[in-house]
Structure 1
């Protein structure tokens, strides 16, 4: 039975997700990475402040799901709860295991989160970044130089950012992806890159083009991203991290397009893959049709406070059958209200991200009962 009682009334699942359940070939016209979440071990003490304990089998199975649909995996990014429950020992092991099992492209986050909270010197920030960079390079994954809370708190002007990043780029074998995460995703990153951030970013890229594959931009500002994209020197790519405007940014315009490194792709992998293959075939109408119902879902998942979007990603993974439970490291399953998640059920069904309507309904009924909605 695929009917549930939501807080605002009865709802029947459509079964639309069955149309997109099959994996497919890799994409040819765009590079697309999905930032993957982690699956907590439900038997472990994953309470706030406890060391993260993962269900490795389920965590890695989800990555194989993404590779099978044609995506690259963006490992150990903020979607994996970096700075919100996933400690660095677990992060390092996550990157190692994912890289070892990779059947498609993989990039992995490099940050400074092994440092204790609080003040750090620029030298301590450099050393922390360098340690993680060496760990990622040892796995063969492409490093993503993530924004650092410690650097944001310590840097006093643009040259501090440039000096730290330049020291890292001198140590890189191959290329890296830069990372620009807005404060809506992490308030501790306010003011990142200094007083004139665009100038700082362009100076960094222009001075190290041979070491930079691209930059991931997560600012939820379409016009800003297009302007920055048009100012990047070739062949540096812009990887959109805009979970609000991704269809038009990926499709692009006469001046160019964005590739993608997106958290929402973890939740909408099957329809997103179908849309990207339609774009490969030159069928923009089908591309638009498939992506259209995913946008209201994405805007809800990433609604304010945006940094709790991970809760919605994991809830959807559970409803879709990618894991057996709805618990998270750091107890983050409490990060969204029952009302928010109930709305997510309707939007996920409309977007075609739930391949088994009966399973989704069974799990939704069980969860709704626990939050006081009688079934």
Structure 2
């Protein structure tokens, strides 16, 4: 499958909105004074958790590197990880305010709970870029992937894997955490494809996206439906897919399972035939967009040349946004995606027990 091209195009129209929760209000302040800072700016970066490999391995270094590049190495980045604790993240926002960062890149643990913290930051003159998850409150910009399309991509892949067997049993849906607005969009996209094509026997919203919770849910689904009735599992990400597959193996069930994030363990499970697919999300375009918008906002510049999209949250309208496209990752296009983009090497994917499986599918140097 061909990788979908990433669109981060210029030409978004400038907006003028009413004061109630508008993106203009969120980005308020004295632009002349802010622009005088030049490249000598301080950027706050708050990421939500460290259980998913992507945040520490990809997002953080990519964002930090791009900010340094855009500011000739003069900017400083204050970083913290909330470790899946919404209360801790609220405290971290307060610390960023105390440290007087010029702009904050925020990937919320709980998009709704963080609203008051976002407001405090804005009241202190700090503009907020919502990263990967659409935080509530007066944010100035947002970047993520097309999350509804992610769910559609997963659903379409599952239907392809099931083929003529789609009506022969029941599918289990393992959605993400209700505190993550992305999870609702993944679910929406998946249902738009799966509804009417398969019977959904059990569906779960998995607390905190934890693999162990997905494992427990899957064991409960197997007990309730019977192992001979389950024909496939929609898993919203790779971490949960790992927990799901452990439960399936324990029950002697071999069915297609979806995923997301193209984590190394997920890619290896795809190579081994344990997981059918993942959604490959190229982190560099998302990270670069966040860095570009944050630097522009800190310097008092327009986002028109960066953000071509507009999205609405529950508390703001027409937020300048960059939405990045995704690719369905299967054993057939590993070389053309994660290896080609330098995310992993063949040696990393095919290490140890996975070498024979790699050889079998022709994944060699």
Q: Same fold (TM over 0.5)?
A: no
- If the length of structure 2 is used for normalisation, what is the TM-score? 0.27
- If the length of structure 1 is used for normalisation, what is the TM-score? 0.26
Q: Which has the larger radius of gyration?
A: 2
